[in-house]
């Protein structure tokens, strides 16, 4: 963690801006752009700065708004007069001056610039080739992760693979297919460059071959390349590293980043300066815990848990995911529906008990955000098999996830029935992990419009959010 904090100090000020006067300046202090890549240890500081950028894109108020609030799983929540830009996204009344759009856009492109700084600096350095490949592989994964989110929020976006300077700050839009080609290229490189596990415990949290294979499989799934998706998942499983966590609820507790189910987790740590804690703990908590009670689960989400376990109990994933009337909360409390005034529910995932994060530091949580986990991979594989009409194998993968939840196996049914079952299972298993809206978009107009209500209007080839107005104003290469 000490390296992360040092890197944050070095690179925290390299945010993207429409101003150009600082873009060509060297870093002040002991290190400069001409000598920071002289040694592997120094270059690792820059790489750690790229890792640190991931912290902000999930711990503040960005990706969950797109993945959850824009979906049928949740409403804005919070106070009626709070988070107006979030409410506009919730209602699909979004214009280019929406502040949430700008916040995520800036964070993502700063993260991309940090990754590009590593890729270009290390490539042109005298560092040993094996170390170069290892560093570049991690940075290319980070770049691919950002672009995967960008292409699924905005569609066509500027593709930047070089460090921003005054000569290239204006970059036009690239097609969706071009963005995906870059994502896949970066991830193929990463799968070949990264180890399945790192030898030293000091490298805990670094991106692995499994993470690269998992994100590549997800990219291929989104592009409807079913066969290559299955092949990539098989390669991931052949590593022999990942398995389902025994207790679903443990995936959302301290230490979950070390679960055998976690494939790619963005780690957080409380009580640091500068802070690297998880703010979601405060965004989603009730006001009685000094929380803002945003991202309110809907009754539609609750109704999706319409199957009982083999022993006649409620699917345990429901109460592990949300707080609801009369059920256990986090502090040996019984949840009170008044804590979630928008819908009567609150998100339980991403929240910690007060014994871990007290009221006074509620926005400084230590929970990781697990972006990729093995259950997600199994559901991707089930979906890809279903799309190729291999229903027997689809049922095998689906039932592995259902079994953990205590649900009965699904027998082989028609393709259309299997599709409905898999889509429902994804909603239940992955709820409030910021994937739902993107699933609805890739599943097409009929499913999306049925789920999202009268405020949503499908736009071919799918709904994309408007590019932030400040980017349109400052980037002359974007032609509207």
> Which tens digits make up the pLDDT trace of 23-62?
445 445 565 666 889 999 999 999 999 999 898 655 554 8
- How would residue 243 be classed by pLDDT, with cut points 50, 70 and 90? very high
At residue 167, the pLDDT reads: 86
- How many CA atoms does the CB half-sphere of 211 hold within 13 Å? 27
Is the model's pLDDT at 303 over the cut of 60? yes
Q: Which H, E and C letters describe 191-227, residue by residue? A: HHHCCCCCCCHHHCCCCCHHHHHHHHHHHHHHCCCHH
Cα–Cα dist 347/75, whole Å: 11
> Higher confidence at residue 3 or residue 32?
32
Judged against a pLDDT cut of 70, whether residue 294 lies above it is answered with yes
**pLDDT for res 30:** 60
Asked if residue 395 has pLDDT above 60, the reply is yes
In the chain, the domains with their CATH numbers are: 1-177 (1.25.40.390), 280-365 (no CATH)
Structural tokens at position 263? 């494939």
Report, as an integer, the average pLDDT of 54-81.
Answer: 86
Q: Is the pLDDT of residue 66 over 80?
A: yes
pLDDT computed for residue 55 by the predictor: 80
Tokens of residue 343, six digits:
């819908």
Between 20 and 185, residue with greater pLDDT: 185
| 346-373 pLDDT per residue, tens | 999 999 999 999 999 999 999 999 999 9
How big is the chain, counted in residues?
480
Residue 13: what pLDDT? Answer: 35
Closest CA to 377 of 395, 401, 361: 401
- Asked whether the predicted pLDDT for residue 96 surpasses 60, the reply is yes
The pLDDT score that the predictor gives to residue 170 is 94
**Is the whole-model pTM more than 0.75?**
yes
- Rounded mean pLDDT of 471-479? 95
pLDDT tens digit string along 142-157? 999 999 999 999 999 9
- Long-range contacts of residues 338-344, Cβ cutoff 8 Å, at least 24 apart: 339/286, 339/287, 339/288, 339/293, 340/77, 340/286, 340/293, 340/296, 340/297, 341/293, 342/75, 342/76, 342/77, 342/78, 342/293, 342/296, 343/74, 343/75, 343/77, 343/296, 343/297, 343/298, 343/299, 344/299
pLDDT of residue 60: 52
- Pairing label, strands 157-158, 173-174: antiparallel
Q: What is the pLDDT of residue 33?
A: 65
Residue 281 has pLDDT above 50, yes or no: yes
């Amino acid at each position: 963690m000490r390296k992360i904090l040092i890197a944050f100090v070095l690179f925290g000020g390299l945010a993207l801006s429409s101003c150009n006067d600082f873009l060509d300046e060297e870093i002040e202090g002991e290190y400069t752009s001409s000598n920071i890549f002289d040694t592997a240890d120094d270059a690792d500081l820059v790489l750690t700065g790229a890792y640190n950028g991931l912290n902000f894109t999930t711990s503040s108020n960005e990706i969950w708004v797109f993945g959850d609030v824009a979906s049928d799983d949740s409403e804005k929540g919070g106070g009626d007069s709070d988070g107006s830009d979030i409410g506009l996204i919730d209602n699909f009344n979004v214009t280019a001056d929406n502040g949430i759009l700008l916040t995520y856009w800036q964070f993502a492109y700063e993260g991309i610039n940090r990754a590009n700084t590593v890729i270009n600096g290390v490539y042109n350095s005298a560092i040993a080739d094996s170390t170069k490949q290892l560093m570049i592989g991690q940075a290319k994964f980070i770049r691919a992760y950002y672009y995967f989110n960008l292409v699924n929020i905005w569609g066509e976006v500027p593709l930047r693979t070089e460090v921003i300077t005054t000569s290239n700050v204006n970059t036009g839009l690239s097609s969706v297919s071009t963005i995906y080609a870059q994502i896949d290229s970066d991830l193929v490189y990463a799968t070949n460059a990264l180890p399945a596990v790192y030898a030293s415990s000091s490298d805990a949290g670094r991106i692995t071959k499994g993470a690269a294979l998992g994100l590549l499989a997800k990219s291929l799934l989104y592009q409807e390349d079913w066969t290559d998706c299955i092949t990539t998942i098989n390669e991931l499983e052949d590593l022999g590293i990942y398995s389902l966590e025994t207790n679903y609820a443990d995936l959302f507790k301290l230490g979950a980043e070390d679960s055998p189910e976690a494939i790619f987790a963005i780690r957080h740590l409380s009580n640091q300066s500068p802070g690297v804690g998880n703010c979601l703990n405060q965004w989603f908590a009730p006001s009685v815990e000094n929380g803002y009670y945003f991202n309110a689960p809907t009754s539609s989400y609750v109704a999706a848990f319409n199957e009982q376990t083999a022993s006649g109990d409620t699917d345990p994933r429901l109460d592990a995911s949300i707080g609801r009337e009369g059920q256990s909360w986090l502090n040996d409390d019984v949840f009170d529906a008044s804590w979630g005034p928008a819908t009567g529910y609150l998100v339980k995932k991403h929240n910690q008990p007060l014994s871990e994060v007290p009221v006074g530091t509620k926005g400084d949580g230590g929970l990781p955000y697990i972006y990729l986990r093995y259950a997600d991979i199994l559901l991707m594989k089930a979906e890809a098999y279903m799309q190729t009409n291999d229903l027997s194998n689809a049922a095998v993968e689906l039932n592995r996830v259902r079994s953990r939840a205590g649900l009965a196996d699904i027998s082989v049914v028609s393709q259309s029935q299997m599709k409905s079952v898999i889509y429902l299972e994804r909603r239940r298993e992955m709820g409030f992990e910021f994937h739902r809206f993107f699933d609805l978009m890739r599943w097409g107009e009929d499913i999306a419009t049925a789920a999202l209500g009268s405020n949503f209007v499908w736009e071919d080839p799918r709904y994309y959010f408007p590019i932030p107005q400040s980017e349109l104003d400052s980037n002359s290469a974007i032609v509207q």
